[in-house]
Amino acid sequence: MEIIHQLKKLGFNEYESKSYTTLVQNGTSTAYQVSKISGIPRARIYDTLESLVEKGIVLKEDYKKSAVYSPLPVEIFLQKTQSEWEDTFRTIDKGLKDLELKQQNVEDNKVFTMKNQSAILNYCKELIKKAEKRIVISFWSDMYNMLENELKQIDHPVKIQGITFHVDAPIANLEKHRITPYTESANSDHWFVLSIDSKEMIYGPSLSEREIAFYTDDPIHIRLLEDYIWHDVLVNRLVKQSDENLEQWITSGRKQFFLED
């Protein structure tokens, strides 16, 4: 049942979730009735209901020789849960940021590994929002398409520079990489690089192939990869402007350098 799954995300265990939904659906009930309807073992139902009473989610009333239980009205339950969640979020937000600030003040520059496509993309989006002056990218179409909206929605002057692969109409100032044997090869690595103000960077392979990336605030890493992007942009421009057939010469030289057959 989906509602049980969602209640568990809020911190209720399965028995608590089943007990509360049973009371909401059936109204005031005895522990025996809740147990019978929900399938919760009778040996566990009393502890479960008492737990909900302690949390203020269930109301207990002595009735004759036993007790009956009523659910906190749904609207009040939702308001209570939202308020508690927001308080928790604010406390965690401040606490974690304070810890992060202390860590940034004492640690050297770092490089760490990130995993999970969703986490990597969210981190990229947050970095883009943080940009103050300059963003440098090297994106193939898959990564560009996933972050294009964030790049377009920057609401203050930020210079976006770099190069794209297989992107038909990149935003202004971005170079379109020419079509080459390398860009058309099925074996080409679709790496991405995202640099923010030359202070923070995320880079890695295509997320559709491997859900992994690397974050760094190390200036040496950042300068090296930004320089790599600049050389890519420069070569692309020189080839486009040249009347000579440089593409074959570049392709041959690349194969020799990387020992490719």
Report the SS3 class of residue 61.
Answer: strand
Determine the Cα–Cα distance for residues 261 and 247; give it in Å rounded to an integer: 17
Provide the CATH topology of domain 109-257: Endonuclease; Chain A (3.30.870)
Domain ranges of the chain: 2-72, 109-257
Determine the Cα–Cα distance for residues 72 and 52; give it in Å rounded to an integer: 10
What was the pLDDT predicted at 33? 94
Contacts 24+ apart (CB under 8 A), 19-27: 19/45, 19/48, 19/49, 19/52, 19/58, 20/52, 20/57, 20/58, 20/71, 20/77, 23/58, 23/69, 23/70, 23/71, 24/71, 24/74, 27/70, 27/71
Q: Which residues of the chain have pLDDT under 50?
A: none
What was the pLDDT predicted at 63? 74
What was the pLDDT predicted at 244? 65
Determine the Cα–Cα distance for residues 40 and 32; give it in Å rounded to an integer: 10
Work out the percent of the chain whose per-residue pLDDT is above 90.
66
Half-sphere exposure of 8 (CA within 13 A, CB side): 9
What was the pLDDT predicted at 189? 85
User: What is the second-level CATH architecture of the domain 2-72?
Assistant: Orthogonal Bundle (1.10)
CA dihedral 47, 52, 55, 61 (to 10 degrees): -100
What was the pLDDT predicted at 132? 94
Instruction: Specify whether the CB–CB gap between 80 and 56 falls below 8 A.
Output: yes
Determine the Cα–Cα distance for residues 120 and 203; give it in Å rounded to an integer: 10
